[in-house]
Amino acid sequence: FSKHFEADLIFARRFLIDKKIKAYFKVVKIDDKWEFIGDDDPRFNEVED
């Protein structure tokens, strides 16, 4: 992964911690963009681990 991607991961973890959201989320590549989808997203279960 690129450094930018790692920074995004760190940001996402901080965001989740800051918001005190205890949620599972996956990182998926959608249209060549990395997106975080939470377990409340209907796409979550469609994504392969």
Alpha-carbon distance of 4 to 10, in angstroms, equals 10
Q: Which domain holds residue 20?
A: 3-46
> Residues 5-26: pLDDT tens digits?
777 777 777 766 655 555 556 6
> Residues 20-49: pLDDT tens digits?
555 556 677 777 777 777 767 777 667 565
Q: How many domains are contained in the chain?
A: 1
Tell me which DSSP letter residue 40 carries: T
pTM above 0.85, yes or no: no
